[in-house]
Chain A
Amino acid sequence: MIAELGIFFLILTLVFSSFGFLQPILSNISKNVLLFSQEKLSVLIFTFTLLSFFCLAYSFLVSDFSLNVVVNNSNTQLPIIYKITGVWGNHEGSILLWLLVMTFFGFLFSIQNIKNKDIKTKTLYVQNTLIFLIGLFIVLTSNPFERSFPPEIEGSDLNPLLQDPGLIIHPPLLYLGYVGFSIVYSISLAVLLFKIKKDDFVNVLRPWVFASWTFLTLGIGLGSWWAYYELGWGGFWFWDPVENASLLPWLTASALLHTILISSKRKLLLKWTLLLSIITFTLSLLGTFLVRSGVLISVHAFANDPSRGLFILLLLILVTGAGLFFYIKSGSFFPKKNNINLISKEGAISLNNIFMLTLSFTILLGTVYPLFSGVIFNTKISVGAPFFNSILAPIIFPLVIGMIFGPFLKWGNDDFFNLINRLKILLFIFFIVALFVWYLNFGGPILSIIFFIFSSWIITSSLFEFTKFISLKPKLTFKKVPLKNLSQLTAHIGIGLLIIGATGTSILKKEKIQFQDPNQIISISKFDVKFMGVNNVEGPNYISEMGEFKIYKKGEYLKSLYPERRFYNSSDQITTEAAIYSTIFGDLYIAIGDKNSLNDNQSWTTRIWYNPFTLWIWIGVFLLSLGGAISLIKTLRIKN
């Protein structure tokens, strides 16, 4: 009964969202038909989708095994929290969540106070049409309310890897980011399609760009953190196609963040802003396509259904095609503006765009190239981490240099020697910092020293910018730092910390893999790790082999760690739960493997890593999001 209600609400969503494109078409024929307000429609659409989502959540909660998705992704033994997260731990449910977020953004936009009513209505035309298309996709190919007959008595279980606190909020956050860009796309397409000749669209766009970017950053960061502690490999980024897919829109959105500064302040690159908005949402959709269609062999490719893939592909072509078509067709209805000088703030932001987009393009190319070479040349190649790492460096360095000096450049036209002259003190500080970093890492790998120096320069230059707001004469006073500067400083320092963390974790990590006897001590970095043995512990729906390790530093007991291997009752699957002792200088990371079958003395395979500065990655991601949030607050303040 509840399930039928769910599909009923979904169809209502479909009906009401169809007015998004029916209204503009029919109102051309006769002025008097279909005079619904798109704002009111958005509220209705959101309400019905939410109700439909509740119906699915309810079915999971009461373990209604007459539904296919519930049978395949839930189990009566499952703790309640994972019954709920099971709703989006599968294809059908996660696309419904995608739709819910999309209608939520439509709803938020419809209640936002925007002076230009024209742009509002027309944006909602586009947004509601997008909602219609995704809704159609769900009803036709991915109906979560499909019954199984006869009903099963017990479900097969949620994938144990997904039974994890990190994955409770990772998908919703990621989707808030991905799907938030649907509004950005809708605004941009509306401007192009209906030729709204006002450059104030940038101000309408801004809060949505910042909000979506912030969520996407948090979502990616959280996923990376989960991969770090759950997969038991001691790494945090694997250049997996699905990770790449989330990075693509993030990179173009980061370019968009910076471009919006120029377009709102200098009225430059207005059309380019629109194009970036369109590209960013297209890449979000592409990410979904790559993940969902299983077209790329990835650890995530579990939804191999060609009809779904085909539908998403068509959707992708339609959305991209419409965007590009009206972009080209709109011609040059924005006034031509002045040239951009390389040595200026606009120049630096342009360079940021060029490198961000090149990076995004290269990652996309590397991700899909094996497909193309397979079709065109009939060769079967792999493009993996070594390739991505090798192309990353030459693109990252110019970006970092731009990040260090860009904020000090003037708008319009600046002079290189003048800049050097202005930054004499900073350059001297850089020299000292470089020497200091080099001294601290003396004898370490040269690459890590270079990365450390550059990232500390980013942090130093950001902190140096703060000094602008401190005056010494006549007495020491602190001026209020404008939010604009504050958000930039926070985010840039975040990037600096992120690079330090990534460098430490990937280049400087130490590893000890061995059969460890009880009471045997393994020394790694400054820690002594004593193995106490393994106990069997029973969890709610699994049995765990839980190792106990005592951590000492200079003979002093610090903490006990309990890494596990969990054997899930219902699905015969095993997961690793690494145990991590985090300090500001590095993480002690322990995972256990099998019992040594060669002898009887209770020795186990233990993998112990020391990952320098890993914590800084997560702090960096947090500061990045904080920077985004500060920008969001600032743009919302302008409005009011």
Chain B
Amino acid sequence: MKLFITIFFLIFNADLSKSVEPDEILENTELEEIAREIGRNLRCLVCQNEDIENSNADIAKDLRLLVRKKLTEGESKKEIISFVHSRYGDFVLFSPPFRYDTLGLWIFPLIFFIFLSYLFFRRKN
């Protein structure tokens, strides 16, 4: 699976075990839980397929701290995600926004499903 790691390894000389650091964690466990949830939806922009919670890159750390800062200031999950989105663009969202150019992600599987169902269960004479 994760067989052929790692251009990223070579470039960043990364240590995979690093991610969320102890001193980043919020004391309020409920808020920390929300922070994790937000973090799982945000991509580490310089990494390969990693969310910010599982990345040791500086930008991921900055984003983690930003998310937690905004949470303690009382902002909601939605507000924080849309803030990060407006600042870094679509690429930062692991779950793409529902728009004309991403419509295919949901429409094509549906069409595919209907087409296959028709193929199997149509009445043949």
Contact = CB atoms under 8 A, between A and B. Distances in A.
Interface residues of A, number: 79
A519 interface: no
B9 interface: yes
Interface string B1-31: 1111111111001011111111101000000
Q: Is the interface of A mostly helix, strand, loop or mixed?
A: mixed
Interface of B: 1-10, 13, 15-23, 25, 40-41, 43, 48-51, 54, 89-97, 101-102, 104-105, 108-109, 112-113, 116-117, 120-121, 123-124
5 contacts: A294-B7, A361-B109, A381-B93, A565-B17, A576-B16
B17 A591 contact: yes
A357 B102 CA distance: 21
Give the residue among B9, B41, B49 with the most A Cβ atoms within 10 A.
B49
Contact of B18 (A161, A342, A572, A593): A593
A596 to B, nearest CB: 8
Contacts of A340: 120-121
A513 B32 CA distance: 12
Interface in A7-50: none
B20 A300 contact: no
A514 B22 contact: yes
A227 B101 contact: no
A577 B114 CA distance: 46
Which 5 pairs from chain A and chain B are nearest by CB? A223-B1, A384-B94, A576-B17, A377-B101, A386-B95
A627 B49 CA distance: 33
A516 to B, nearest CB: 9
Contacts of A384: 43, 49, 51, 94-95
A240 B49 contact: yes
A200 interface: no
B3 A223 contact: yes
B89 A380 contact: yes
A575 B16 contact: yes
Give the residue among B41, B109, B117 with the most A Cβ atoms within 10 A.
B109
Contact of B6 (A170, A239, A302): A302
Contacts of A171: 3
Given A302-B7, A386-B95, A387-B95, A238 B13 contact: no
Nearest to B21: A605
Given A241-B49, A340-B120, A576 B6 contact: no
Nearest to B9: A573
A261 interface: no
Interface string A362-396: 10011001001100110111111111001100000
A605 B8 contact: no
Contacts of A231: 2, 16
Give the residue among B13, B16, B121, B124 with the most A Cβ atoms within 10 A.
B16
Contact of A299 (B20, B40, B49, B121): B49
A521 interface: no
A227 B124 contact: no
A240 B1 contact: yes
B94 A383 contact: yes
B116 A513 contact: no
Give the residue among B10, B41, B95 with the most A Cβ atoms within 10 A.
B95
Contacts of A161: 2, 5-6, 9
Interface string A339-362: 110100001001001100110011
A44 to B, nearest CB: 31
A386 B96 CA distance: 9
Contacts of B121: 339-340, 342, 347, 350
A162 B120 CA distance: 44
Interface in A132-169: 159, 161-162, 167
A336 interface: yes
A170 B94 CA distance: 29
A379 B101 contact: yes
Contact of B48 (A174, A297, A339, A565): A297
Given A241-B49, A387-B95, 9 more contacts: A230-B2, A240-B1, A301-B4, A302-B6, A339-B123, A340-B120, A350-B120, A357-B112, A382-B90
Nearest to A161: B5
Contacts of B49: 238-241, 297-299, 384
B2 A243 contact: yes
Contacts of B50: 299
Nearest to B100: A377
B13 to A, nearest CB: 6
Given A232-B17, A607-B17, A383 B105 contact: yes
Given A385-B40, A514-B22, A246 B1 contact: yes
A378 to B, nearest CB: 9
A226 B124 CA distance: 49
A224 interface: yes
B51 to A, nearest CB: 7
B7 A304 contact: yes
Contact of B90 (A240, A294, A381): A381
A218 interface: no
A161 B2 CA distance: 9
A303 interface: yes
B122 to A, nearest CB: 8
A129 B78 CA distance: 55
Contacts of A170: 1, 3
A340 B119 CA distance: 10
Contacts of B90: 379-382
A167 B23 CA distance: 35
B15 A565 contact: yes
Nearest to B95: A386
Contacts of A458: none
